């Protein structure tokens, strides 16, 4: 269940962030349901044995969205030794809350989207934690990218960052996103990026304002793209390429994603942690796109580019 540790003041960033995540979950699920037009999000509340829990909201088999989830969690307890070592701190009480989402559309012309915004605190007193930080971001994974959609997505996030210049730098967060969502074993990006930030400790009030603004921008960044593409006809060949790219998505989430590791290390709920995986994917031995094909043109997008500076990908 979505609960705070006992005696947590409502003025704390822990309480304010949990409240924001709950509100965003409702708003974003409502917006996605309206885009789909047929399917609704189911609700599944869960408890973590060590403290706290969450609510998973999952949509499946919709007209537009084949599978997706918008999950909120708030967990607390003693930080496991292994995670404490990863953070470079001693094992001590922790609190973590956040909202995380992955949406897998049915139509290969509609991109997959991911976003998450999170807060982490260490210490017994959440009114004055020993340490606290924010992280998050959003990224887009198209299958047949359209430059108009990529530019729109990035422009929304640049606009949000520009409103919070003291704590948010679009160029820096874009570069961090490009580095993070990279598959080293494939030497390619998971998609076309977005923004990514972590360990924001300075001026928590200003950072919280940025995170709140970013959370409310999710639908602005994604909904117009869905509206434009959701009715486009598609072929079996295009769907097969979507599933090949979904395989890359699964590879990243299982091999590299920090959120997946954190959830598993802290005994989080497995179904919620692995909600990000697509319902169908393909792997083919030594697959490469045919030269000059639409698949080859799409693959050219999966490297870092200056999307807002006119850097247009071209297939080799």
* Count of C-beta atoms within a 10 Å radius of residue 280: 12
Contact between residue 158 and residue 150 where contact means Cβ atoms under 8 Å apart: no
- Looking at residue 227, its pLDDT comes to 98
| Helices 13-36 and 218-229: angle between axes, nearest 10 degrees | 10
Residue 164 is a catalytic residue: no
CA atoms of 86 and 242, how far apart (whole Å): 35
- Looking at residue 71, its pLDDT comes to 96
* Count of C-beta atoms within a 10 Å radius of residue 277: 16
Burial class (CB in 10 A: 0-12, 13-18, 19+), 307: buried
- Looking at residue 203, its pLDDT comes to 97
Q: What is the pLDDT of residues 205-225, one digit of tens each?
A: 999 999 999 999 999 999 999
- Looking at residue 287, its pLDDT comes to 93
Element (H, E) at 67: strand 65-78
Contact between residue 252 and residue 191 where contact means Cβ atoms under 8 Å apart: no
Cα-trace Rg, the chain: 19
Global confidence as pTM: 0.94
Element (H, E) at 30: helix 13-36
CA atoms of 94 and 8, how far apart (whole Å): 13
CA atoms of 153 and 196, how far apart (whole Å): 14
Among candidate residues 76, 104, 114, 305, the one labeled active-site is: 114
> What SS3 class is residue 156?
helix
Nearest residue to 132 (alpha-carbon basis) of 69, 198, 220: 198
Both tokens of 175, joined, read 């570069």
- Looking at residue 315, its pLDDT comes to 56
DSSP state of 79: P
Q: Could you report how far apart the first and last alpha carbons of the chain are, in Å? A: 51
Both tokens of 76, joined, read 């607390």
Both tokens of 96, joined, read 């973590």
**Spans of the chain, pLDDT less than 50:** none
Element (H, E) at 312: none
Nearest residue to 164 (alpha-carbon basis) of 131, 197, 115, 122: 197
| Helices 170-180 and 147-162: angle between axes, nearest 10 degrees | 130
Q: What is the pLDDT of residues 238-278, one digit of tens each?
A: 999 999 999 999 999 999 998 888 788 777 788 888 888 99
Contact between residue 216 and residue 143 where contact means Cβ atoms under 8 Å apart: no
Nearest residue to 102 (alpha-carbon basis) of 87, 115, 92: 115
């Amino acid at each position: 269940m979505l609960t705070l540790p006992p005696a947590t003041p409502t003025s704390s960033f822990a309480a304010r962030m949990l409240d924001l995540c709950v509100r965003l979950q409702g708003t974003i699920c409502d917006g996605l349901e309206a885009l789909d037009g047929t399917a609704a999000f189911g609700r599944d509340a869960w408890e973590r044995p060590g403290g706290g829990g969450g609510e998973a909201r999952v949509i499946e088999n919709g007209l537009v969205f084949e599978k997706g989830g918008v999950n909120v969690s708030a967990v607390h307890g003693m930080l496991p030794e292994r995670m404490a070592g990863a953070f470079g701190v001693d094992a001590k009480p922790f609190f973590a809350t956040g909202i995380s989402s992955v949406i897998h559309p049915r139509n290969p012309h509609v991109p997959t989207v991911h976003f998450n915004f999170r807060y982490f605190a260490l210490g017994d007193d959440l009114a004055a934690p020993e340490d606290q930080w924010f992280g998050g971001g959003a990224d887009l994974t198209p299958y047949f990218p359209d430059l108009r959609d990529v530019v729109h997505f990035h422009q929304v996030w640049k606009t949000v960052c520009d409103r919070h210049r003291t704590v948010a730098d679009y160029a820096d967060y874009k570069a961090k996103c490009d580095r993070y969502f990279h598959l080293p074993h494939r030497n390619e990006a998971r998609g076309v990026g977005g923004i990514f930030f972590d360990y924001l400790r300075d001026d928590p009030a200003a950072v919280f304002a940025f995170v709140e603004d970013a959370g409310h921008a999710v639908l602005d960044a994604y909904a117009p793209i869905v509206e434009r593409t959701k009715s486009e006809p598609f072929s079996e060949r295009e769907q097969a390429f979507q599933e090949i790219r979904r395989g890359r998505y699964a590879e990243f989430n299982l091999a590299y994603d920090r959120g997946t590791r954190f959830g598993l290390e802290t005994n989080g709920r497995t179904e919620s942690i692995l909600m990000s995986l697509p319902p169908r994917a393909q792997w083919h031995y030594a697959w490469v796109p045919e030269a000059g094909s639409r698949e080859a043109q799409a693959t050219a997008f999966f490297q870092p580019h200056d999307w807002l500076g006119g850097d247009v990908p071209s297939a080799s």
